[in-house]
Structure 1
Amino acid sequence: MSLRKLPEIKAFKALSNMEWQPRTDVVDRWNAGIHAATSDEASISILGEIGGGDYGDGVTSKRIAGALRSIGERDVRVDINSPGGDFFEGVAIYNMLREHKAKVTVNVLGLAASAASVIAMAGDEIKVAKTGFLMVHNAWGITIGNRHDMQAAAAMMEPFDRAMRDLYAERSGSKAEDVEAWMDAETFFTGEDAVKTGLADGYLSDAEIEQDKDSGKRASAIAKIEASMAAQGLSRRERRSLLAELQGGLTYRLLTSCRALTSSPRFAATPKN
Structure 2
Amino acid sequence: MKKSIFIFVMIVFILNTLFSSAIPQNSKIITLKNNNTYYTKSSNSDEKSQGHNTNVDTAPKIIASIPEEKIYLYALNEQEPWYQGLVLSIDGVNKFFNWKTLSMIEVPPKLYYLDLNNDDKKELVVILYEDRGTGISLNTMHIINPEDFTEYKFKNALDVIKDNVEIKILSKKEVEMKINDTIYNVKIGDVPPNLTAYYPIQVSDIFFKHYIKYSMEDNVLKARVGAEARPLKYLGDIIIDYSFKDDEFKANKIVFEGNPTVTVTTHKLNKTK
Report the TM-score when normalising by structure 1. 0.21
Q: Of Structure 1 and Structure 2, which has the larger fraction of its residues in strand?
A: 2
Q: Which has the larger radius of gyration?
A: 2
Q: Which has the higher contact order (CA 8 A, sep 6+)?
A: 1
